[in-house]
């Protein structure tokens, strides 16, 4: 019998206006410990004000993974940073995020360009989470 490989990976990419945290694999109960460690390391390493979490590489997301994303969001905001989620063409993960109503906490966009179109790039150095969310809600309505 083939053993199922449990994996969760996180890659940080620094862009001009934001830092992108790319998640791949499974964000779930069975990867919780590794995910918690990697997300905590990411919070400590973030330097830019705008943090974009790219979940397009996730193959699976359960309630434990959702809780980890919410906790990560709270940590980012508590450090006076702002966060948005990018789903790209991962409709399954986008559906889970929307069912969990994460779109009531933070912007969930198709790609970084949608996010960057919400405000001039220079404004991301001082924009609040509330202002970013408000701009996104107005644009998506």
Q: What residues pair up with 140 in beta bridges, in sequence order?
A: none
Q: How would you classify residue 42: left for phi > 0, otherwise alpha for psi between -120 and 50, otherwise beta?
A: alpha
pLDDT given for residue 3 in this prediction: 44
Q: Is the per-residue pLDDT at 1 higher than 50?
A: no
Contact 113, 139 (CB under 8 A): no
pLDDT in tens, 74-89: 999 999 999 999 999 9
pLDDT given for residue 97 in this prediction: 98
Q: Is the per-residue pLDDT at 120 higher than 90?
A: no
Instruction: Indicate which CATH number applies to the domain containing 103.
Output: 3.30.750.24
Contact 82, 50 (CB under 8 A): yes
Q: Average pLDDT of the chain?
A: 93
Q: How far apart are CA 113 and CA 118, in angstroms?
A: 9
User: How many domains, in total, are found in the chain?
Assistant: 1
Q: If you average pLDDT over residues 77-105, what whole number do you get?
A: 97
- pTM recorded for the entire structure: 0.93
Q: Is the per-residue pLDDT at 31 higher than 70?
A: yes
Structural domain span for residue 40: 3-140
Cα–Cα distances (Å) from 62 to 30, 68, 81, in that order, read 10, 10, 26
pLDDT in tens, 36-60: 999 999 999 999 999 999 999 999 9
Cα–Cα distances (Å) from 52 to 1, 6, 29, 123, 133, in that order, read 39, 24, 23, 15, 13
């Amino acid at each position: 019998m083939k053993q199922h490989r449990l994996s969760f990976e996180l890659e940080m990419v620094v862009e001009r206006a934001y830092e992108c945290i790319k998640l791949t694999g499974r964000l779930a109960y069975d990867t919780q410990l590794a995910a918690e460690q990697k997300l905590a390391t990411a919070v400590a390493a973030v330097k830019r004000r705008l943090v974009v979490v790219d979940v397009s590489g996730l193959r699976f997301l359960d309630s434990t993974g959702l809780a980890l994303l919410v906790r990560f969001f709270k940590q980012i905001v508590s450090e006076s940073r702002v966060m948005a989620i990018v789903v790209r063409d991962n409709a399954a993960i986008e559906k889970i995020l929307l069912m969990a109503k994460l779109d009531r906490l933070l912007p969930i966009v198709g790609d970084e360009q949608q996010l960057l179109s919400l405000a001039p790039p220079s404004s991301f150095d001082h924009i609040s989470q509330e202002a970013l969310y408000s701009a996104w809600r107005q644009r998506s309505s």
